[in-house]
Amino acid sequence: MKAYTKVLFWFLAVLITMFSFVYQRMTGPTYPVRGSVEINDQEIGYSLIRSYDGDSDAPVEINVPDEDIKGTFKYKRYPSYDEWVADSLVRDGNTLIAYIPHQPAAGKVKYLITIHYSGKSTDLTEEPVIIRFRDPVPTWAIIPHVLFMFFAMVLSARAGIEAITKGGGIRWLTYASLITLIIGGLVFGPIMQKFAFGEYWTGWPLGTDLTDNKTAVAFIFWVIAAIAVWKNPKHCTWVIVAAVVTLIIYLIPHSLLGSEIDFTEKEQMQDKVGYIVESFSCLKS
């Protein structure tokens, strides 16, 4: 294979990876909801956060210089049986701020912001926005996770291209794809999960976290591919399958079906405990 062809293939692998990373992040449930509304002939842009790792109430800020424009927001935990709670946006200079009550890691809150002017009210979004709270993750865990997952996708795409063109580097590209996936997804992935949400693994069979499940599926296919090329260095089929599966997995929105506290279960448990305590008290009397 000529040198410029190899460079072209590597460039293509990086391009595929960049596209999948950007697409995954922009379509994921933690990416801010962006848009704009027109109030009093003014276009008000907004970026409503859907993830927060601070230890205070989450500030949702909207740039609104016109002091005649006010705002309110309503919120409730999600999922829960809570009633909606309404509050006013706080003005700080040119900014209106909604402070979303802090929740424990993996706790979610549904909120809807409404802008008021001259007796008219305009919701910023058609549907409420859901924000998930998490604990801070140290940089030493984030950087290797992101880098190795990026390398894993580049190597995966490159291995797929090598298998399709029947090149001579299938074996080492397959092994490199598997190793970087293990380090990024099965070592640093659970470490990040532990810091952010208190659990190392919330995918199958312990939960439904799609990020964990995606990593597990990709790992299984690359193990099969690695075994196949170990037996036959020119084997292509399983490498192509593993590369395609990995690409599909990377196109699934990040953090979809991620860790969350089900407040309905907590409320049901509290009701049961309250009922038992009440019944016991009645028996004693």
Whole-Å CA distances, 262 to 10, 131, 211, 249: 44, 14, 18, 26
pLDDT in tens, the chain (285 residues): 567 788 999 999 999 999 988 887 777 778 899 999 999 888 999 999 999 999 999 999 999 999 999 999 999 999 999 999 999 999 999 999 999 999 999 999 999 999 999 989 999 999 999 999 999 999 999 999 999 999 999 999 999 999 999 888 999 999 999 999 999 999 999 999 999 998 898 887 777 777 888 999 999 999 999 999 999 988 899 999 999 999 998 888 765 656 788 988 865 545 443 433 343 444 444
Q: What is the pTM of this model?
A: 0.84
Q: CA-CA distances (angstroms) from residue 54 to 51, 59, 102?
A: 10, 10, 9
Residue 271 pLDDT: 47
Cα separation, 119 vs 235, whole angstroms: 70
What's the CA gap between 143 and 265, in Å, rounded?
35
Q: Which CATH architecture has domain 33-133?
A: Sandwich (2.60)
Task: Say what the pLDDT of residue 275 is.
Answer: 35
Q: Where in the chain is the domain with CATH 2.60.40.10?
A: 33-133
Give every CB contact of residue 40 below 8 A, 6+ residues apart in sequence.
Answer: 66, 68, 69, 117, 118
- Give residue 147's pLDDT: 96
